[in-house]
A and B are shown apart, each in its own frame.
Chain A
Amino acid sequence: MELISLKNVSVNSKLLLLKELGYGSDGEFVLSANGEKAIDKYAEIPVRVNNMVILPGSTVILDNNEFSIASYLEEFGEDALG
């Protein structure tokens, strides 16, 4: 699996990517379709646009931290990230 770094991607491109995925943003946080802050389902915290991870598997948007990534691997298998 190829990992695309979001570090040097413009904010507008990130917002466009989120929009195409059915999400939005208030400029700081990722918003779900209903306008509420999208929550990292593992760490149970709101996801910031400048610290997000977008992973395959019904499109999982998470906060970029070791706990959430490890939780994702637990759910989708050790090989889920190639």
Chain B
Amino acid sequence: MPLDNPVSDITEGVTKGFLDWSIDKITSFLQKLENREIAFIEEQKTIDIVKEQYLSGESKFYGKYIKDKKFLFLARLGLALRKVEGDKERRGNLRDKIFKKYSVEGLHIAEFVENGILNRYVGILIEGLISIEKLEKDIEDILKNIEKYTLFVQWTSNKAEIVKRADIKVNSNSPKIFIVSGFKLAAQLVRDCTESFIIMLNDYELERFSTGDKEILFFKRKAL
């Protein structure tokens, strides 16, 4: 086992100023670990970020109304993404891991939550709420069909392409609510396309959520 021959860079000089644990101390720790009394972590901030999201009101809400475990987990990861929004490296790391495990669809679900789209979508659903069961079904429906009902605009797209993709999605899927979202550089692209969307989706009414770096359009079918 390599432990018997620690590599050369693990020298006393490197460890100076750091805590040294005795074998007795470590044995005591192991007993506590077995009793689930302690855990070891390099950086506590990671656990704090995750726990804070799990304990948040929004997470509890989703815990109540999202029955599918995978979707709920992705929603919670979306909340974690929101929390680390200002930390480019941490956010990128988390996005990569979500993508690796759940592909683009899973990442879109997490981003849907991160950017506050799901909570606004729920707000629209609540306006016409019939029953809790229907609310749960509609939330699951949007998460399950996120690629059909939502257009995630990329900054690399052009206006004609965006409008065409929206047209195809709406005509193929007839969503009750169709969502177009763009963030950062893509937000302006969405703004530039809004008039074209309004003309094209004339049997929908628009509810717009706009901030400096986010542009989210909710097109609600008028029959709703």
- Residues of A at under 8 Å CB distance from B? 1-13, 15-21, 24-27, 31, 35, 43-44, 50-57, 59, 64-71, 73-74, 78, 81
Q: How far is the CA of A25 from the CA of B90 in the complex (A)?
A: 26
* B27 neighbours in A (Cβ, 8 Å): 20
- Closest Cβ of chain A to B219, distance in Å, is 32
What residues of chain A lie closer than 8 Å to B7, measured between beta carbons?
Answer: 26-27
Interface of B is mostly: helix
Contact B14 A11 (CB under 8 A): yes
B22 to chain A, nearest CB (A): 9
Cα of A18 to Cα of B94 in the assembled complex, Å: 26
Indicate which residue in A8, A44, A57 contacts B19 across the interface (CB closer than 8 Å).
A8
The yes or no answer to B93 lying at the interface (CB within 8 A) is yes
Nearest-CB residue, chain A, relative to B35? A56
Whether A17 touches B26, Cβ cut-off 8 Å, given contacts A6-B40, A12-B15, A54-B40, is yes
Contact of B39 among A13, A19, A54, A70 (CB under 8 A): A54
Q: Of the candidates A13, A25, A78, which one forms a contact with B54 in the assembled complex, judged by CB atoms under 8 Å apart?
A: A78
Bound Cα distance from A60 to B93, whole angstroms: 21
Residues of B within 8 A of A (CB-CB), count: 51
Q: If the complex has contacts A9-B21, A70-B77, are A3 and B94 also in contact, measured as CB distance less than 8 A?
A: no
B6, B20, B40, B84: the one contacting A4 at CB < 8 Å is: B40
Given contacts A3-B38, A24-B2, A27-B6, contact A81 B47 (CB under 8 A): yes
* Minimum CB–CB distance for B35 against chain A, Å: 8
Among candidates A7, A57, A78, residue contacting B42 with C-beta atoms closer than 8 Å: A7
B132 at interface (Cβ–Cβ under 8 A)? no
Q: Is B97 an interface residue when CB atoms closer than 8 A count as contact?
A: yes
Within 8 A of A (CB), among B61-85: 69, 73, 76-77, 80, 84
